[in-house]
Amino acid sequence: MVDYTNFIDYSRAELLNKMRQHLNEARLQHCLNVEQTAIKLAQQYNGDVNRAGLAGLIHDYAKQRSDTEFKQVIVQQHFDPVLLQYNNAIWHGIVGAYFIANELHIHDEQILNAVRRHTVGAPQMTTLDKIIFVADYIEPGRDFPGVAQARQLANTDLDAAVRFEICHTLEYLIQKQVAIYPGTLLTYNALVPNH
Ligand code: DGI
Ligand code: FE
Ligand code: FE
């Protein structure tokens, strides 16, 4: 079983109650699924099972905050103003970590970084970052073209699963003709050969 006592001074049940105040049932279930998937990946890839479980559980904590709230935090906490040109899809991870530190009192930087990077990744990802990035994509509730292949890759090669995910996310965003956050491109460029 997981043990979160190094990172929170209240129980996991209490954490779920705090999360429930800000997330609907479907989103909470997704977070629980990512927790379990992250634990499995951590066991498989020799990661930190407790950090993986907790980061997976809380990764979307800020997903249902209003745009107004995010914009306020971006300005008041001096986040990169470029963020204001994007939306919840980008904010809930990068800025979401602020809400997690502030409201859930989780201050472990490895966990917070995994949350910050869970949507757009980063050029240099830790094993924990990769586990949360991939767990979010393949948790059992996910159903989209390519998820079976992503799950298969995650079973055998975590880096290959990260690469598959970033490539397919970019293809999806381009197909929808929405703006690509520069951080997403930096992640992609770091994962493919540079010529
Ligand atoms: O929060 P989840 O839905 O569980 O998953 P997520 O945090 O991976 O967010 C996925 C969404 O973020 C998906 O709709 C694609 C979007 N996204 C990822 N990278 C970018 C992006 N959206 C924009 N506009 N730009 C990006 O670079
Ligand atoms: Fe997310
Ligand atoms: Fe998620």
pLDDT in tens, 122-132: 999 999 999 99
Q: Closest Cα to atom 7, ligand 1: which residue?
A: 119
Which tens digit of pLDDT belongs to each residue from 139-154? 999 999 999 999 999 9
Q: For the chain, what is the mean pLDDT? A: 98
Radius of gyration of the chain (CA): 16
For residue 80, give both structure tokens.
Answer: 């990169």
pLDDT of residue 1 exceeding 90, the answer is no
Question: Nearest ligand, CA of residue 87?
Answer: 1
Ligand 2: distance of its center to the CA of 30 in Å?
A: 10
Give the residues surrounding ligand 1 with Cβ less than 6 Å away. Answer: 30, 60, 63, 89-90, 93, 118-120, 136, 169, 173, 178-181, 184
| H-helix segments, the chain | 12-20, 25-44, 49-58, 67-76, 88-94, 96-104, 109-116, 127-138, 147-156, 158-176, 182-191
Counting from 1 in the atom list of ligand 1, the atom nearest the Cα of 178 is: 24
Would you place residue 11 in the very low, low, confident or very high pLDDT band (cuts 50, 70, 90)?
A: very high
Q: Which residues surround ligand 2, an ion (CB under 5 A)?
A: 60
> Three-state DSSP class for 108?
coil
CB 121 within 8 A of CB 158: no
User: Which residue has a Cα nearest atom 8 of ligand 1?
Assistant: 119
Is 107:71 a contact under the CB 8 Å cutoff?
A: no
- In whole angstroms, give the CA distance from residue 90 to residue 97: 12
Mutual orientation of helices 96-104 and 12-20 as an angle, nearest 10°?
120
Distance between CA 93 and CA 128 in Å, rounded? 15
Element (H, E) at 55: helix 49-58
Q: Could you tell me the distance, in angstroms and rounded to a whole number, from the CA of residue 176 to the centre of ligand 1? A: 12
Nearest protein Cα to ligand 1, atom 12: 89
Residue 195: its pLDDT value, please?
Answer: 67
Asked whether the whole model's pTM tops 0.85, one would answer yes
- Percent of the chain exceeding pLDDT 90 equals 98
User: How would residue 194 be classed by pLDDT, with cut points 50, 70 and 90?
Assistant: confident
Neighbours of 139 (CB within 10 A): 21
Nearest CA to ligand 1 atom 1: 60
Going by pLDDT thresholds of 50, 70 and 90, the confidence category of residue 17 is very high
